[in-house]
Amino acid sequence: MRIAFVGPFGMSVKRTMAVRAMPLARELAARGHQVRVILPPWDCPQDAGQRWAEEDVEVHNIRLPPRIPLLGHVWIVARILRELLAFRPQAIHCFKPKSYSGLVAWCVWHWNLLGRRKVRLVGDADDWEGTGGWNELERYTAIQERFFAWQEHWGLTHADALTVASRALETIVWSLGVARERVHYLPNGCSGEVLEPDPMEIEALRQEHHLSDHPIVLLYTRFFEFGLPRVLDVIEGVGKAIPETRWLVIGKGLFGEDARFLDMANERRLASAIHYVGWIPVSKLAAYFGLASVALYPFDDTLVNRCKCAVKLIDLLAAGVPVVADAVGQNVEYIEDGVSGLLVRAGDTQGFVRAVVRLLRDEELQSRMRVAARLQLCQRFRWSDLVARAETAYGEE
């Protein structure tokens, strides 16, 4: 079967296409399908016009037009449609029902309506984008907010089939009147490979950050998932119970949240225990994960968090890092409380502190959870197993 994946942006900056679309595409190719990923790399223009292959998956980045208001957007959509016509796919999978992939879905739906060569149109939702979702987080104009909210509703209700990354999105789509048989739960997965960090690299990091004799708690984040004061309350509470604890913070905020976090930590005299390293290349993450005794994954009970399927949490579990997380959304799908991690009632700051302290003090429990986290993730969320759900959405039994 010829299957085209269409993304709303490129591969390098925003990670949806790299961590969701590409693993799925590779598994489809391994099962004999011909898969082409078509991207408008407006966010990473260095990729414009570039083509490459990854494990039999063709990646085509369209050329970008000059910056012409409105006409530039039309040009990009036209180039994607041109690529689709040349490929002649039997199914088109549009990732995110907004922006360029949403516009392409709209064009394909109307093409099908005209009765020409019909293509199966499949949408993919891995976040809630419109009202109450990313519209509230991103710095969109009022016109953009209204347009993206309309796009999302239209895209979710007009596709022949949908893949959704979370149970919350599944429920929302059903509430829009979409028949259950058209909605396919397709959470994010893992490859099943375990990348063991280099012990020498871990030790070098310990020395670099002066962490040799301290228990280390990892916060791997984009900062928007939680209120900054609450996490600082957790750091303070754990520090009172285990003063030698050090906090390794990896990640970068969307709009300067990381700087605010560090300023607030300094104001509360917590900064000396926090080692902020910012954004880390994927190739370096394993060594940093190897430093951690425990990771915390705070997750406020919001619509955005309920709908997302956090790849960062999957990364932690796949690396065998014992995790303490709020029992919100997909977190409860990926963590079995007390077995592969610890779950805390949403918003229970003192409960979060107690869970982190318990795990730091119980090295045997840490060891059991390291094994269980990897095992359960591979048993339930391996891409090679999840791919069959996508094939069902394409009409392949």
Q: 136: which residues sit within 8 A by CB, 6+ positions away?
A: 304
63-74 burial code (b ≥16 CB/10 A, e <16) = ebbeeeeeeebe
- Judge whether 29 and 57 are in contact, CB under 8 Å: yes
Q: Which two tokens stand for residue 107?
A: 């064009």
Q: What share of the chain is helix, strand, coil (3-state, %, to 5)?
A: 50, 15, 35
User: Cα(204)–Cα(287) distance, rounded to whole angstroms?
Assistant: 10
User: Cα(382)–Cα(147) distance, rounded to whole angstroms?
Assistant: 35
Q: How confident is the model at residue 163, as a pLDDT?
A: 98
Q: How confident is the model at residue 283, as a pLDDT?
A: 86
Q: Out of 3.30.450.20, 3.30.70.3270, 1.50.40.10, 3.40.50.2000, select the CATH number for domain 2-189+382-393.
A: 3.40.50.2000
Q: CB-side exposure of 189: number of CA atoms within 13 Å?
A: 26
Taking the domains of the chain in order of start, what are their residue ranges?
Answer: 2-189+382-393, 199-380
Torsion of CA 278, 284, 287, 292, to 10 degrees: 30
Determine the Cα angle at 20 with ends 294 and 222, to 5°: 45
Confidence (pTM): 0.94
Span 41-55, pLDDT tens digits: 999 999 999 999 999
- Token pair 């962490």: residue: 211
User: Cα(107)–Cα(116) distance, rounded to whole angstroms?
Assistant: 12
Q: How confident is the model at residue 366, as a pLDDT?
A: 96
Q: Which two tokens stand for residue 108?
A: 């394909």
Running DSSP on this structure, what letter comes out for residue 268? T
Q: How confident is the model at residue 273, as a pLDDT?
A: 95
User: What is the CATH T-level fold of the domain 199-380, as seen in this structure?
Assistant: Rossmann fold (3.40.50)
User: Cα(329)–Cα(233) distance, rounded to whole angstroms?
Assistant: 23
User: Cα(98)–Cα(78) distance, rounded to whole angstroms?
Assistant: 16
- List per-block mean pLDDT (blocks of 10 residues) for the chain, which spans 397 residues: 97 91 98 98 95 96 89 95 96 97 97 85 96 90 94 97 98 97 97 81 87 91 95 98 96 93 97 94 91 96 96 95 98 97 96 98 96 95 97 86
Domain 2-189+382-393 identical in fold to domain 199-380: yes
Span 348-372, pLDDT tens digits: 999 999 999 999 999 999 999 999 9
Span 266-279, pLDDT tens digits: 999 999 999 999 99
Minimal CA–CA distance to 161: which of 146, 181, 142?
181
Running DSSP on this structure, what letter comes out for residue 105? H
For residue 164, what are the CA distances in angstroms to 95, 181, 308, 334?
A: 10, 13, 10, 16
Q: What letter represents residue 356's amino acid?
A: V
- Judge whether 153 and 130 are in contact, CB under 8 Å: yes
- Judge whether 326 and 346 are in contact, CB under 8 Å: yes
Q: 260: which residues sit within 8 A by CB, 6+ positions away?
A: 228, 253
